[in-house]
Every structure is written in C-alpha cells, then in structure tokens.
C-alpha cells in the first residue's frame, strides 16, 4: 500500500482512501482485500495470489484489479533489498 492509504475492511470488501489524492476506492471483493493485505508478505504479487488461494483461472481478473489500484497510486511497487 502507498504510505498515505488507509484501508477500512467492510462486509463487502473494503474502503480504500488515499489521503494524498483524496481518492476513495471500493474493493468489492473480500478476496481482493486478502490479496492486497498479503502483498507486503510476499516478494511478488503472484506469490501473494497463491497464498490467498487464487487459481490460474483467477489470476487475470485480480491482475487487472491490482493494475487499477497501482494506476491510482493505492498500491505502489516496493524496492527490494
């Protein structure tokens, strides 16, 4: 997550608010929330996807969702040591 982003879990998924851009997004899928929460624990998004139980067939859909979150600066690429 971007350091200026706050995530509030909700029954439908989550509200994601970026304090820098003042943008509010809805994660309308609890699995997407689990994926986003798993990203910091894994070196690659694909590894996080596997960890939350996504199948090969699921990957394109969630890749698009992560790409949208990245395009709006909700998630950012981290630098690896």
pLDDT digits (tens, 9 = 90+) for 2-36: 999 999 999 999 999 999 999 999 999 999 999 99
pTM here is 0.89
Mean pLDDT of the chain: 94
**25 assigned to some structural domain:** yes
DSSP state of 9: E
pLDDT tier, 45 (very low <50, low <70, confident <90, very high otherwise): very high
H runs (alpha helix) in 1-81: 30-38, 45-51, 59-71
Tell me if 70 sits within 8 A of 62, measured CB to CB: no
- The arithmetic mean of pLDDT across residues 67-81, rounded, is 88
**80 assigned to some structural domain:** no
How far is 62 from 81, CA to CA, in rounded Å? Answer: 26
Tell me what pLDDT residue 80 has: 61
How far is 43 from 20, CA to CA, in rounded Å? Answer: 26
* Residue range of the domain that includes 50: 5-71
Quote the number of domains for the chain.
Answer: 1
């Amino acid at each position: 997550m971007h350091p200026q982003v706050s995530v509030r879990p909700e029954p439908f998924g989550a509200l994601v608010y970026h304090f820098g851009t003042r943008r509010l997004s809805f994660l309308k899928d609890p699995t997407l929330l689990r994926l986003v929460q798993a990203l910091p624990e894994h070196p690659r998004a694909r590894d996080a996807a596997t960890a939350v139980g996504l199948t090969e067939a699921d990957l394109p859909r969630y890749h698009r969702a992560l790409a949208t979150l990245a395009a709006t600066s909700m998630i950012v690429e981290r630098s690896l040591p």
